[in-house]
Structure 1
Amino acid sequence: MSRHATIPAPSRSWHDFLIEHAQVLSITVFFVLCCLLFSILSPFFLMPDNLLNVLRQMAPLLVTAVGMTFVITTGGIDLSVGSIVALTNAVCALALQAGLPWPLATVLVLILGGIVGLAQGWFVSYQKIPAFIVTLAGLSILRGIALLLTKGYSIPIDEPSAAPLLAIGRGWIFGFPIPAILAIVILAIGAFVLRETKYGRYVTAVGANAEAARRVGIPSARILTSVFVLTGITSALAGLLIAGRLGSGSSNAAEGFELDVIAAVVLGGTSLLGGTGTILGTVLGALTIGVIGNGLILVHTSPFLVQIVTGAIILLAIWLNTRIFGRLSAGRKG
């Protein structure tokens, strides 16, 4: 062998993999550490009943986070999801109280969510109003409509006529909560669509560069509108789950919900700048928020601290998103 022969450089595939999936890996590590911490601090944390309860309670957030992942992947944001949940939750209860069969009331609520998303998407896509402004206005308007419809009161749902809907929110199958099963199905569909379909690739392309996507023939405006429709429908489904679980509709439902949804999506590695989205990361982000909330309660911490921790996580996630991982990604591309 020649003395000048060189040893081939080791493969950088693992290095590239770690950089490419740094955000998902980081939230995975953080999620595991949170579970370990709370399992040490509370003997009740790892009990099956408690873990299943966390999944049941997180189901509405997980469902809504699927739609939010698509919106943020396009570079947008939807601040109105909590208000959509409240409106559809209240409308569902009012429709059932008025004597509508529960299947018809369910379809009505999902259509309402889609229409709200379509209206907001039209303003964002075709009128070029920033998504932040449009959905901030929607946050106020939709919550106000819910208050107007309910007069501020909780609307009870009659159990005999709406038993199947209540079962969707409260029921169990083979020892597993139905809301969690439904959330897993929606998450699987969302992951498949985002990663494996032409529509998912279009969503990512629009988020990466909307003008370039338009020039190569991608209907950017329609894609951008469609993701808000998707968020409206998933928020409406979350409203139905909450109505079924609580057995009532209320204009006060899901207050602050939008912060948890956005935090879950951003924590999971979906870029606020658009062009990158991951449903798996969203799941881990949502479960992390759920574990933190549940764990803090089990160790008898003030419930107000949960809001402080969630806010701090959002700030940290945004900082990591725009600084550290952005530079890592730029370095990899360079």
Structure 2
Amino acid sequence: MTQADGTMKTEKKPFKPERITSAKTTQWLSNNKQLIGIFSVLILLSVFFSFSTSSFFTTGNMLNLLQQLAPNLIVVVIMTLVITTSGIDLSVGSILSLASALIAVLLSARWDSFFAFVFVLIVGAAVGLLNGYIISYLRIPPFIVTLASMIYVEGCALLITGGYSISISGSSWLMSLGGGELFTIPVSAIIAILIIIIGWIILTQTRFGTYIIGIGANEESVRRAGVNIKKIKLFTYMFSGMIAAFAGIIIATRLGSGSSNVGTGFEMDVIAAVVLGGTSLFGGIGTMLGSVIGVFLIGIINNGLTLMNVSPYIIQIIQGAVLLFAVIVNTYFFGRNKKRN
């Protein structure tokens, strides 16, 4: 302040844009601590496995890993949306198995590839629609509904296959979904990337995504705003079933056979990836990028340990430990915040 002319004047401090930039950076880091943490672990594990086995960080293994993880990357998109609504879908693995078995049966029966493809997607969507209806309109908890679906859908898959694998033969466009390549990149990986982008747009840039986040954060407030919550949930679970069926088709065409047990444990891997990535189990917070990183983290652990000739039983124990760790961390981060609110 100066008094040269007898009046008090306040000196204006120069505007410093870097202060705003610094504040935004600090805020972003604070809001994405779990995402940064899991990405750091992913990098560290990649470095560890690169030094542990020479066959890990090779073009062939990376492309193979992409192809293997494509179904997980596809289903993790819809699972992120489901969990963001404060729901869960335990039936995706069984739907995947049913779709894998069904596409094999239909192609073996000389169905046209296109009609077989559409029919399997409709079956998956129908299972998801039934789940969504019971959850939304009958108000039965998602865990119970989808657990029951997991059991009866798996039974259907066993029924149509008799417990055996069914070979798929042919060179139609359908076979290229799981086994084809485009410029050495697996077609399934390209499809997965496209679905991830679409899922990110839906979650962050559309009204539907806003409703999904709102339902998970405060369902009653969204209902009072005039949003048809039942319809939003219904469509979310319907898409969950359809996308799981699509992933089943991709696995069947990659392996060249359909099986009733190909999706065993699949839902746990996907849920673990979503939870590890930073989507709240309590709903209201969802991150598509985090879920994708979660898929790669779990996939790299499995791939790296396999290349190191670690026993598959040990790998299964580690998978269970990772899931437990993910739930504990997720509950710590988001459960504490929910109590505060």
Would the TM-score normalized by the shorter structure come out above 0.5? Answer: yes
Offset at residue 12 of structure 1 (A): 3.4
C-alpha distance in 2 between matches for 1:296 and 1:186: 28
C-alpha distance in 1 between matches for 2:226 and 2:93: 34
1:81 to 69, 92, 98: 92
Give the match's secondary structure for 1:99.
coil
Q: Give 1:203's aligned amino acid.
A: I
C-alpha distance in 2 between matches for 1:251 and 1:301: 26
Partner residue, 1:279? 288
- The farther-off stretch of 237-246 and 317-326 is 317-326
Offset at residue 218 of structure 1 (A): 1.2
Q: Does 1:127 align with 2:138?
A: yes
C-alpha distance in 2 between matches for 1:37 and 1:129: 45
Offset at residue 24 of structure 1 (A): 1.4
Equivalent runs, 1:34-183 vs 2, <5 Å: 34-160=45-171, 163-183=172-192
C-alpha distance in 2 between matches for 1:77 and 1:330: 21
Q: In 1, are the aligned partners of 2:121 and 2:246 still within 8 Å (CA)?
A: yes
Give the match's secondary structure for 1:264.
helix
Give the match's secondary structure for 1:209.
helix
Q: Give 1:267's aligned amino acid.
A: L
Larger Rg: 2
Give the match's secondary structure for 1:12.
helix
Equivalent runs, 1:1-334 vs 2, <5 Å: 12-160=23-171, 163-324=172-333, 326-327=335-336
C-alpha distance in 1 between matches for 2:287 and 2:121: 24
Offset at residue 158 of structure 1 (A): 2.6
Give TM-score, length-normalised by structure 2.
Answer: 0.92
Q: Give 1:248's aligned amino acid.
A: S
1:251-284 deviation per Cα after TM superposition (whole angstroms, max 9, x unaligned) = 1111110100101111111110000111111110
Instruction: Point out where structure 1 has 5 or more consecutive residues left out of the alignment.
Output: none
Offset at residue 230 of structure 1 (A): 1.3
Instruction: Point out where structure 2 has 5 or more consecutive residues left out of the alignment.
Output: 3-10
1:294-323 deviation per Cα after TM superposition (whole angstroms, max 9, x unaligned) = 000111111122221221111111111111
Q: In 2, are the aligned partners of 1:267 and 1:281 still within 8 Å (CA)?
A: yes
C-alpha distance in 1 between matches for 2:98 and 2:37: 36
Q: In 1, are the aligned partners of 2:92 and 2:244 still within 8 Å (CA)?
A: yes
C-alpha distance in 1 between matches for 2:104 and 2:58: 34
Offset at residue 23 of structure 1 (A): 1.8
Q: Give 2:133's aligned amino acid.
A: W
Q: Give 2:80's aligned amino acid.
A: T
C-alpha distance in 1 between matches for 2:218 and 2:159: 41
Q: Give 1:212's aligned amino acid.
A: S
1:74-106 deviation per Cα after TM superposition (whole angstroms, max 9, x unaligned) = 000011111000111111111111121111101
C-alpha distance in 2 between matches for 1:328 and 1:207: 14
1:25-74 deviation per Cα after TM superposition (whole angstroms, max 9, x unaligned) = 11111111111111111111110110111010000111111111110000
Q: In 1, are the aligned partners of 2:280 and 2:334 still within 8 Å (CA)?
A: no
Q: In 2, are the aligned partners of 1:66 and 1:234 still within 8 Å (CA)?
A: no
RMSD: 2.2
Sequence identity, in percent? 46
Q: In 2, are the aligned partners of 1:22 and 1:325 still within 8 Å (CA)?
A: no
C-alpha distance in 1 between matches for 2:239 and 2:258: 22
Q: Give 2:276's aligned amino acid.
A: L
Give the match's secondary structure for 1:194.
helix
